[in-house]
Structure 1
Amino acid sequence: MPAAVGMIETYGYPAVLVAADAMVKAGRVTLAKYESCASGRYLISIRGPVSEVKQAMAAGIEAVEKLPLSAKVESYTIIPNPTENIEAVLPINYTEEAEPYRVL
């Protein structure tokens, strides 16, 4: 089954929390990584089937856009079928902490 990774970078912690909640409720995806960047920016990545990641990303972006003006989506991307080389180098892999929640 083709897998994809989706990443959303937000400004403000409430935004990343709302995005994560909306994404896992909207699609059959797994939260793979959460990271605090700099200056109030947060990054969250999800993994799952390509169509589910697209659906979940749309829901996450829409949820953040409904928040007050101080919370916003800084950037986002969907990478369908990332190669093993990219997965080995970048932090888009499933971690041991995420394994119990992995969608098969």
Structure 2
Amino acid sequence: MQQALGLIETRGLVAAIEVADAMVKAANVKLLGRQKVKGGLVSVMISGDVGAVKAAVDAGSVACGKVGELVSVHVIPRPSDDIEHIIPKGPPEGKPADKKKTPARKRKPKKTS
């Protein structure tokens, strides 16, 4: 991974959404996703150029203070390529992967006497 990695951890999903919105609007960064942690903690991850990530993380920190609790902030300027293996990939949590929908079962008509 040649780009910087930015992380903000918040308490609560609403704050995490506000953080993500502020970060992608503040600078040219890519939203990598979010990770729910126990205790209501949610981590939001971004990547981009070092300056853009720092600006985005600063904006996200300010935005978080308006609607929730900021727990932790960190920027890794040039993370090792091995870091990619621990960054969550795939569909966001709570969203099922492309599963075929099974048709609803038909109800049997009630018998009347």
- Interval of TM-score (by shorter of Structure 1 and Structure 2): 0.7 to 0.9
- Name the structure where strand makes up a greater proportion of residues: 1
Mark the runs of 5 or more structure 2 residues left unpaired by the alignment: 93-113
How far did residue 87 of structure 1 move?
Answer: 2.3
Distance 2:66 2:82 in 1: 36
Q: Which amino acid aligns with 1:74?
A: V
Matched residue, 2:10? 10
Map 1:1-104; keep pairs closer than 5 Å. 3-67=3-67, 71-88=68-85, 90-91=86-87, 95=89
Q: Which amino acid aligns with 1:85?
A: D
Percent of aligned pairs sharing the same letter: 36
Distance 2:61 2:28 in 1: 16
Distance 1:38 1:97 in 2: 19
Matched residue, 1:101? none
Distance 1:16 1:31 in 2: 12
Mark the runs of 5 or more structure 1 residues left unpaired by the alignment: 99-104
Partner deviation per Cα, 1:18-61 (whole Å, 9 max, x = no partner): 00000000010011021111111111100111100000000000
Q: Pick 1 or 2: higher relative contact order, CA cutoff 8 A, min separation 6.
A: 1
- Cα RMSD of the aligned pairs, angstroms, is 1.8
Q: What TM-score, normalized to structure 1?
A: 0.79
Q: What TM-score, normalized to structure 2?
A: 0.73
Matched residue, 1:102? none
How far did residue 83 of structure 1 move?
Answer: 1.1
Q: Which amino acid aligns with 1:51?
A: G
Q: Which amino acid aligns with 2:47?
A: R
